[in-house]
Amino acid sequence: MTRYALTVEFDGRPYMGWQRQSHGPSVQQAIEDAIHAVTGERTIVHAAGRTDAGVHGLAMRAHADIAKDLAPFRLMGAINARLRPHPVAILACDPVADDWHARFSCLGRAYVYRIANRRAPLTFEKGLTWQVIQPLDADAMHDAAQLLVGLHDFTTFRSAHCQSQSPVKTLDLLNVERAGDRIAIHAAARSFLHHQVRSMVGCLAMVGMGRWTADDLRAALEARNRAALGLNAPSDGLYFLRADYPGDGYEK
């Protein structure tokens, strides 16, 4: 039995999220079914994180235990062949130690949220970017975002369905960058609450529109109450960007 670390890219639009669901397709199910078609084995593919319906992945890390003796490159190619036409691809496949775990060995996770700040309708990026037609002040958004960096009780930014034992998390980074009519919001932490990134982005967008001030954002954080949330951004623009592990060079 060999444990393989997988790096996965996926378009989240057709899926109910990463995790296997009884009421719709998932990224996990697509990969597990592809592995079964290649190896004849039923295995569970564990991921670094669980993404919501419609959320995308640029480099989700996952692992699977496989008994069949296949070179990693051939295994990756065979899984990708079986994944077609699903919008899911294995970018890398490497044998790892038996105690390496995509979720529990992970030191940190990073997301990027993409906004198209323009009035013209989206064409190629529809469902892949959040379109905001009101002008956004990215500098004001970035300055306000720094209020959320550090150790906080993020109850306001937590979904009512979140299963985390504590709402207290340490946010390592929350940067807002503009390039033309595109805004990218980068977030990094050891772990995130359910809907935390989307909720933070939604409130930052309100700051960018001038509907909230930085003080309003601070008040929402300090309220520790989901009812104080201004806006939960849609899943369209959210991408799982990176998972960090010992030896990757991202250790603090």
Would residue 152 be called left, alpha or beta, if left means φ above 0 and alpha means ψ between -120 and 50 degrees?
beta
Q: Which of 33, 52, 69, 139 is catalytic?
A: 52
Would residue 122 be called left, alpha or beta, if left means φ above 0 and alpha means ψ between -120 and 50 degrees?
beta
**Considering Cα of 97, then 112, then 14, then 192, what sign does the dihedral take?**
positive
* Of 104, 106, 90, 132, nearest in space to 188 by CA: 106
Q: Which two tokens stand for residue 65?
A: 């235990």
Taking the C-alpha atoms of residue 163 and residue 146, their distance in angstroms, rounded to an integer, is 26
The distance in angstroms from the start CA to the end CA of the chain is 33
Q: Is 52 a catalytic residue?
A: yes
Q: Tell how strand 108-116 and strand 238-244 pair up.
A: antiparallel
Taking the C-alpha atoms of residue 41 and residue 78, their distance in angstroms, rounded to an integer, is 14
- Catalytic residue numbers read 52
